Structure 1
Amino acid sequence: MTWSTRGLFKKSDQATPDSSGRGILLQQVSKRLGTAQVLNQINLEVKQGECAVLVGRNGSGKSTLLRILGGSLLPDTGSIQRTMKGSDGYAVDGLPRLPFTSGEYLWDMGRIRGIRPEILRERIRELSELLYLDTAIDQKLPLLSKGTLQKVNLIQALLPGPGGLLLLDEPLSGLDIPAQEAVVSLLGQWKVEGTSIITACHEPLLIERLADQVVVLKKGRVLRYWSREDVLQADEPVVHIQSLMEAEEDLANDLSILKQSGVLSLVRNTSSEKSNSWMWDWKVSQKSTDDVLRMILASGGSVVSVQQEESQLHMESLLEGQHPAVCSSRGVVPESMGLTPPMDAEGRKVQ
C-alpha cells in the first residue's frame, strides 16, 4: 500500500533545499563514556536528500552517534562538517512520560522551534491525522501506550517540515502497520524535497524503501557499509493474495495470466460454499500487487485477503556484516554477488 503525503505542508512553509551542499560529513569521530569506548573512528557522509540507516546490536553505538549528530554530545576526537541548510528534527528512542497532554507537548515543542502559531496548529493537525493519533491528542503522556507515545515523539520531530537533517532513533518501534507505512511514505517524500535522514532502525520496510546506505556498527566501530545497490539485491517482498473466482475459469493453465509480470505462482485451493466458485492462492511481487488486484476484479472475481509475506532482507545476517541478500538459514550468496572487504566513507579498508 502506498500512502500519499504530497501537500502535507504548504510549499511556502517548507525549507528550500540547498542543492549545492553535500550534507554532513563525519571523519574519525570517537567517543568514550566513562571507561567504555563507545565510538571508535567513525567515518560517515550523508548527502542532501539521502537516507543512512544505522544497524547494530544493543551497545553498538547507534544512539550515541545520533546524540553526537544532534549536538547533545560532543565527540572526543574527529570532526563533523555540515553544509546543508534547514531545521533539524530529532526523535529519541523513548519519549519521557512528561506531565502534559500530547497536544500541549507538541504545541510547546513547536513554539520552542519558532514555528508560527497558525502554521504550527495546522501541522499538528495534519501529522496527527497521518499517524492516527485520534483522541490521544488530548490525553496525558504518562497514560499513553508505547506505540502512541512513539507517534507523539515522531510528530514533534517532524514539525519543522522537510529540509535540513532528520535524526530518528528506532522510529518504527511500537507502531502499528498503517502508521509504519505512513511514516515511511512521508520520509520518502521528504527525501525528494532535500531532507537528509540518519536513523537507527531494524525494520526491513524502512531499509528496503529508503536506505541509500546501510552502516553496520559493532562495538563502536563500522563493521560494513552497504550501498543502495546492495540492498536492492535482496529479493522483493512477496504478497499472498486469495481470490474467489468462477470454477470454469482454469486460471492455473492460462498463460496470459501466468506470464503476466509479477505473478510468481497461482494455485487453485478449495471450493467455496458457492458451487461454481473456487478459492485461488496467488503469489505476486510487491510492485505488481495493484495490477493483479485490478485484473482479479475486472474478470469478475473478488478479493478475499491480501497479506505480505516475510521480507527477503535478512536482518540477522546483516547485523553480522553479511550482505543484505544473504539467507541466514542457508548461508547462500548469489554467484554474481561479490562480498567486498569493509570500507570506510573515504574508500579505505576498515580493520
Structure 2
Amino acid sequence: MTGEGLLVDGISKSYGPTNALTDVSLAIRPGRVTALIGHNGAGKSTLLRSLSGAEVPDSGSIRIDGEAQSFTGPRDASTAGIACVYQELSLVDQLTVAQNIFLGQEQVSGGVLSRRQMNRRADELCAEYGITARATDLISSLPVAQRQMVEVARAINQKAKYILLDEPTTALEEQQVEHLLGIVRRLVDEQGIGVLLVDHKLDEVFAVADHVIGLSGGRIVLDGSVEDVDRAAVIEAIVGDHGSGPVDTAAVAAIVGDGLGETSLESVETVSEAARAREFGAPVLEATGLSGNNLHGVDLTVHAGEILGIYGLVGSGRTRFLRTVYGAFPLAEGSLKLLGKPFRPKSPAQAIKAGVAFLSEERKFDGFVPQMSSIENVVLPVLGKYIRGGVLRWRALKGSADDVLSQVSIRGQVSAPITSLSGGNQQKALFARATLQAPLLLLLDEPTKGVDIGAKREIYGIIRTLAAEKNVAVIVVSSEEEELTELADSIAVFRGGSCDGVVYPRSSVTAAQLRELAWADASPASAGPSAP
C-alpha cells in the first residue's frame, strides 16, 4: 500500500484465544470521511486503540504519509498527527475548557504558563466550532454535546492530521448531531483532515461519509465508496455469515440482490402480551411512551418470573432505559407502572424502596465501594431494614449477608476488600446484594461482562433461580446474542433510543436475526407472524 494517508496493512490483534482483529488493511485519506461500521464485538474499538497508540498490534504495519510508524503509547500517535475522540470522553471535569484543550501541550513563556494566551485561543476555537462555553468555564458545567465539541476542538488545536471519532453522536439530540456532522465536513473540506468515523447510524454514515468500511468478526467484509454501496448491502455485510474471508462490495450487493437480506426475518415469530401473561405471571413493570435522555417512545412490559432480554447496538438506549427505571435518570415523558400502580422514581433510593434492584455494567465504576468488603457492599441497600431504635443490628445483618453470599458460591475472602476477588466473584457478590434486597424487579446491564466462562454459567444459574423460584421479573441487557438466546425467555430489541414493545420468544430467533433486527430500518413488528 503506497501513497498519502493513514495506511493500515495487515494488522492483527489477539487477546488470549480471542482474535479481535485479523489481517485488517485500510486507508484513511486526507480530506475524506471514512465510516467504520460493524456489530458489537466486531473489532472497531480494538482497531481505534491500535491506531491511537493505546494498543500495540501483534502484527501488521501503520504508515502515515509514507512513513512507517511504531506506537508505544497515545503520545506517539499524537506526535504523528493522530487524535482519537472516544465515546467515553477523556476530559477532566475539574479543569476549565482551556485547560482541557491544552492538556499536555500547555503554552509556556519564560517558564510561566501563558494562561491568557491559552484562554484566548480556546475562546477562538469555541466561537469557531459553536461551543457556547467560555475558556474559563469548568468542563463539569457543560452539557454532553458541548463536551464532545471540546474534545474535537482539542484535536484540532493539536494540529491533528487524522481524527478518529468513536460513536460521537450516541448521546446527542438530532440538532446537535447535525451540528457535529457539519463540523466534521468542514474539517475535511476546508482543512483536508482525514476522519475515521465509527458510527452505527446509517443515516449519519450516508450523510457525511465518502467511503465505508465494514468489520465483522475482526475482519474487513466491506470496503467501498458510499456511492457504490446501498444500505441493504451494508446491513448484509455486517449481520451476514461470511466465514473467515472478506466479502467485496459486488459480492455483498449480489447477495442482497438475490433477496436473502429481505427474507431472513420471515421465520421470526413474535409472542403476544396475553401469551406471556399466561406463561408467566402478572405484569411487574409496564413502560408506555417512555421518553427523555435520548429515549423516544419506549413501550415494554416484563412479567413476574420472566427473564426478558434486551438487545440492541451500542447507543440504542438499553442502558438509559434501565437507569431511568432505576431512578438514576429523570423520566421526562410517558409512564411507568410497577405492579399496576404508577411508578415514577426520582432517585435510586426510591426505586430500591419500591422493590427494584440494579446491577451496573461498570461494576468498578458505580457497582461497588472498592475499599469495603463483599459483606459490607452486599448490605448497603438494606441497612434501613436492620435499624431498631436508631441502632444497627449488625449481627442479624451480617447473618443475612453470609446467607446470600453462600448461595452464590463466592470463591475468596468475603471479609477482605471486594477488589481482592476475581471479576466473576465480584459480580456474584453483587448478585448476592440483589438477592438480599428481595426485589420485585431485577435490572441487569451486561451481567457477565468481564467474567470467565465458568463464572458466566454460575451467574446464569443465579438469574434462573431468582426468576423461577423467587418469581422475580428480570430484565437483562446484553450485547452477546448467544447469551440472550440461551438465557432469556423473551427478547425485545432497542433501536435509536426506541422500543416498540414487540417481543420474540428465544426459540424463534437466532443470533444472526437479532443482529438484523437491530440494524433494520423497518419496524420489527413486520418481521413475522405473532405466536398465540
Q: TM-score, normalised by structure 2?
A: 0.38
Q: Tell me the CA shift for residue 197 of structure 1.
A: 1.1
Q: Structure 2 residue aligned with 1:223, among 221, 240, 248? A: 221
Residue in 2 aligned with 1:95?
89
Aligned residues: 232
Q: Tell me the CA shift for residue 184 of structure 1.
A: 1.7
- Tell me the distance in 2 between the aligned counterparts of 1:143 and 1:170: 22
Residue in 1 aligned with 2:238?
319
Flag the 1:143–1:122 CA change in 2: closer, same or farther, 3 A: closer
Q: Structure 2 residue aligned with 1:209, among 204, 207, 210? A: 207
Q: SS where residue 101 of structure 1 aligns?
A: coil
Q: Structure 1 residue aligned with 2:37, among 55, 62, 69? A: 55
Q: Tell me the CA shift for residue 44 of structure 1.
A: 0.6
**What does 1:332-351 align with in structure 2 at a 5 Å threshold?**
none
Q: Structure 2 residue aligned with 1:178, among 175, 180, 187? A: 175
Matched, 1:190 2:109: no
Flag the 1:117–1:188 CA change in 2: closer, same or farther, 3 A: farther
Residue in 2 aligned with 1:78?
60
Q: Tell me the CA shift for residue 194 of structure 1.
A: 1.9
Residue in 1 aligned with 2:445?
none
- Tell me the distance in 2 between the aligned counterparts of 1:203 and 1:105: 32
Contact residue 126 and residue 134 of structure 2 kept, 8 A: no
Listed one character per residue, the Cα deviations across residues 274-302 of structure 1 (whole Å, up to 9, x for unaligned) are: xxxxxxxxxxxxxxxxxxxxxxxxxxxxx
Flag the 1:102–1:315 CA change in 2: closer, same or farther, 3 A: farther
Contact residue 42 and residue 218 of structure 2 kept, 8 A: yes
Q: Tell me the CA shift for residue 317 of structure 1.
A: 4.7
Residue in 1 aligned with 2:23?
41
- Tell me the distance in 1 between the aligned counterparts of 2:218 and 2:141: 35
Q: SS where residue 198 of structure 1 aligns?
A: strand
Q: Which runs of 5+ in 1 are unaligned?
A: 1-19, 235-312, 333-351
**What does 1:291-310 align with in structure 2 at a 5 Å threshold?**
none
- Tell me the distance in 2 between the aligned counterparts of 1:131 and 1:84: 31
Listed one character per residue, the Cα deviations across residues 192-250 of structure 1 (whole Å, up to 9, x for unaligned) are: 2321111211233431233222111112111222322224x56xxxxxxxxxxxxxxxx
- Tell me the distance in 1 between the aligned counterparts of 2:141 and 2:116: 28
Residue in 1 aligned with 2:262?
331
Flag the 1:330–1:318 CA change in 2: closer, same or farther, 3 A: closer
Amino acid at match of 2:43: G
Amino acid at match of 1:331: E
- Tell me the distance in 1 between the aligned counterparts of 2:116 and 2:214: 42
Matched, 1:29 2:11: yes
Residue in 2 aligned with 1:254?
none
Q: Tell me the CA shift for residue 60 of structure 1.
A: 1.1
Matched, 1:69 2:51: yes
Q: Tell me the CA shift for residue 330 of structure 1.
A: 7.7
Amino acid at match of 1:319: I
Contact residue 161 and residue 193 of structure 2 kept, 8 A: yes
Flag the 1:191–1:143 CA change in 2: closer, same or farther, 3 A: closer
Amino acid at match of 1:223: V
Q: SS where residue 19 of structure 2 aligns?
A: strand
Between 190-199 and 135-144, report the one with greater CA deviation: 135-144
Q: Tell me the CA shift for residue 66 of structure 1.
A: 1.1
Flag the 1:129–1:104 CA change in 2: closer, same or farther, 3 A: closer
Residue in 2 aligned with 1:108?
102
Contact residue 50 and residue 196 of structure 1 kept, 8 A: yes
Amino acid at match of 1:101: L
- Tell me the distance in 2 between the aligned counterparts of 1:158 and 1:176: 23
Residue in 1 aligned with 2:436?
none
Flag the 1:204–1:113 CA change in 2: closer, same or farther, 3 A: farther
- Tell me the distance in 2 between the aligned counterparts of 1:119 and 1:23: 32
Q: Which runs of 5+ in 2 are unaligned?
A: 68-79, 109-113, 241-251, 264-532
Flag the 1:186–1:38 CA change in 2: closer, same or farther, 3 A: same
- Tell me the distance in 2 between the aligned counterparts of 1:92 and 1:113: 25
Residue in 2 aligned with 1:335?
none
Amino acid at match of 2:82: D
Contact residue 130 and residue 182 of structure 1 kept, 8 A: no
Flag the 1:104–1:124 CA change in 2: closer, same or farther, 3 A: closer
Contact residue 31 and residue 193 of structure 2 kept, 8 A: yes
The structure where helix makes up a greater share of residues is 2
The share of aligned pairs that are identical, in percent, is 25
Residue in 1 aligned with 2:165?
168
- Tell me the distance in 1 between the aligned counterparts of 2:221 and 2:124: 40
Q: Tell me the CA shift for residue 318 of structure 1.
A: 5.7
- Tell me the distance in 1 between the aligned counterparts of 2:116 and 2:96: 18
Flag the 1:228–1:100 CA change in 2: closer, same or farther, 3 A: same
Q: Tell me the CA shift for residue 33 of structure 1.
A: 2.4
Contact residue 62 and residue 200 of structure 1 kept, 8 A: yes
Flag the 1:318–1:171 CA change in 2: closer, same or farther, 3 A: farther
Q: TM-score, normalised by structure 1?
A: 0.55
Amino acid at match of 2:238: L
Flag the 1:119–1:131 CA change in 2: closer, same or farther, 3 A: same
Q: SS where residue 181 of structure 2 aligns?
A: helix
- Tell me the distance in 2 between the aligned counterparts of 1:329 and 1:117: 61
Flag the 1:84–1:188 CA change in 2: closer, same or farther, 3 A: farther
Flag the 1:132–1:318 CA change in 2: closer, same or farther, 3 A: farther
Amino acid at match of 2:45: S
